[in-house]
């Protein structure tokens, strides 16, 4: 015998108070939210909003299930997801056409994370893959998120140029998860993103460390970005798989100093956990951006203080001779 939860036909609490309780409980724990949808139709509507405000689809069964849900032939289904989903994290398999349809069903997302699962060389140019990428491009043009974390190179060779007036039009926060060998090719394209204020770039180093030639390429790209993106407040370099992060940091700083003074907006961070969905959540919850803002502020304040101290040492305060004479007279007075 099965039991079901139900809401009494009468209650001493007003509906807005019950709504607050449901919101608090469903946001605090997903399992609780799944139980709340069984209470009543009204509570289900409230809990569903919290359940689907953040959607994470990393595995193929999750993608297939959610795709089936958004494609249900009910008149209000698409309206619900369009109005409800605000944060979407998804993995795109180049041979799968479900993700583009999911993106079309969620046009109002504010946080967007996408990982590209690219196939082997024998399947990269097949008709199925090309059609899926074409559908993905179309669906991405319909989105206007403010915060984006994504890999794009394996689908689009010049993504900043391709999406600057659509996907990236309103974007203020961008984390590129592509390898540095790719994003260094786009150093002149970041200026196409006028709303960009926060940027994070992945720098996968490896066991051998970053060579001098590669270091010059990375430092030149970062220097160009900071030079051309004046609205940028923070630029984070995430050092991944780097056994000698201090060596890498010092080398890049030295190379940039040969051009001019190092920009205080540049922040280095060593990322210890690079697997799982913790990276996406660190972006969505703002942890990484808060860290970058704090470090950039401290660095710029330190540089301002150093400049002020240097200026004072080079130009000592001039003392008015009359004031000095007056002080001497006053000090030498005998009572």
Please write the tens of the pLDDT for every residue from 179-228. 999 999 999 999 999 899 999 999 999 888 899 999 999 999 999 999 99
Enter the tokens of residue 48.
Answer: 């569903």
What is the per-residue pLDDT across 109-162, written as a single tens digit (0 to 9) for each? 999 999 988 766 555 567 778 888 999 999 999 999 999 999 988 888 899 999
Q: Which helix (H) or strand (E) holds 116?
A: strand 111-117
Cβ(169)–Cβ(144) below 8 Å: yes
Q: Please report the pLDDT score of residue 171 as a whole number.
A: 97
Query: pLDDT-based confidence at 11, cuts 50/70/90?
Result: low
Rounded alpha-carbon distances, angstroms, from residue 222 to 185, 186, 217, 238, 265: 11, 10, 9, 13, 11
CA separation for the pair 275, 41 (Å, rounded): 38
Cβ(189)–Cβ(161) below 8 Å: yes
Quote the longest CA-to-CA distance of the chain. 107
Per the listing, tokens 């209470």 go with: 39
Per the listing, tokens 């690219």 go with: 118
Q: At residue 278, does pLDDT exceed 70?
A: no
CA separation for the pair 239, 247 (Å, rounded): 11
Q: What is the DSSP letter of 10?
A: -
CA separation for the pair 66, 52 (Å, rounded): 10
Closest CA to 90 of 35, 165, 143: 143
CA separation for the pair 212, 215 (Å, rounded): 5
Q: In the Cβ-directed half-sphere of 183, how many Cα atoms lie within 13 Å?
A: 24
Question: Quick one: 332 exposed, middle or buried, by C-beta within 10 A (0-12, 13-18, 19+)?
Answer: exposed
Residue burial 275-293, b: 16+ Cβ < 10 Å; e: rest:
eeeebbbbbbeeebbeebb
Q: Higher pLDDT residue, 18 or 132?
A: 132
CA dihedral 159, 162, 164, 166 (to 10 degrees): -110
Closest CA to 269 of 303, 305, 251, 242: 242
Q: Which helix (H) or strand (E) holds 215?
A: helix 212-228
Strand, helix or coil at 91?
strand
Q: At residue 332, does pLDDT exceed 70?
A: no
Q: At residue 262, does pLDDT exceed 70?
A: yes
Which DSSP string do the residues of 18-82 spell out, in sequence order?
Answer: HHHHHHHHHHH-HHHHHHHTTT-HHHHHHHHHHHTTEEEE-SHHHHHHHHHHHT-S-TTHHHHHH
Q: Where are the domains of the chain?
A: 14-51, 53-330
CA separation for the pair 153, 160 (Å, rounded): 10
Please enumerate in sequence order all residues whose Cβ is within 8 A of that of 37, keeping only pairs 6 or more positions apart, or say none: 43, 44, 47, 48, 51
User: Which residues lie across from 116 on neighbouring strands?
Assistant: 92
Rounded alpha-carbon distances, angstroms, from residue 335 to 169, 304, 329, 331: 77, 47, 13, 11
Q: What is the pTM of this model?
A: 0.80
């Amino acid at each position: 015998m099965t039991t079901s939860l139900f809401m009494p036909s009468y209650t001493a609490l007003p509906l807005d108070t019950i709504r607050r309780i449901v919101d608090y409980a469903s946001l605090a724990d997903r399992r609780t939210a799944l139980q709340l949808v069984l209470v009543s139709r009204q509570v289900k509507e409230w809990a569903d909003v919290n359940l689907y405000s953040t959607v994470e689809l990393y595995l193929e069964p999750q993608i297939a299930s959610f795709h089936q849900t958004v494609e249900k032939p009910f008149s209000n289904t698409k309206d619900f997801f369009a109005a409800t989903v605000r944060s979407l994290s998804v993995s795109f398999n180049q041979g799968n056409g479900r993700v583009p349809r999911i993106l079309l069903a969620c046009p109002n997302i504010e946080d967007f994370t996408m990982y590209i699962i690219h196939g082997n060389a024998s399947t990269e140019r097949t008709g199925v893959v090309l059609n899926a990428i074409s559908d993905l491009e179309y669906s991405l043009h319909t989105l206007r998120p403010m915060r984006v974390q994504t890999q794009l190179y394996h689908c689009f060779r010049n993504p900043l140029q391709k999406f600057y007036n659509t996907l990236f039009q309103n974007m203020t926060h961008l984390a590129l998860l592509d390898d540095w060998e790719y994003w260094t090719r786009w150093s002149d394209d970041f200026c196409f993103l006028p709303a960009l204020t926060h940027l994070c770039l992945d720098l996968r180093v490896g066991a051998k460390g970053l060579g001098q030639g590669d270091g010059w390429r990375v430092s030149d790209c970062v220097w160009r970005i900071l030079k051309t993106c004046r609205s940028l407040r923070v630029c984070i370099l995430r050092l991944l798989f780097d056994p000698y992060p201090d060596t890498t940091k010092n080398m890049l700083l030295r190379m940039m100093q040969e051009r001019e003074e190092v920009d205080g907006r540049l922040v280095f961070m060593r990322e210890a956990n690079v697997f799982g969905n913790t990276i996406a959540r660190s972006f969505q919850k703002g942890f990484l951006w808060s860290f970058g803002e704090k470090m950039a502020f401290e660095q710029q304040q330190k540089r301002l203080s150093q400049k002020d101290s240097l200026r004072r040492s080079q130009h000592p305060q001039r003392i008015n001779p009359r004031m000095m004479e007056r002080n001497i007279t006053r000090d030498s007075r005998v009572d």
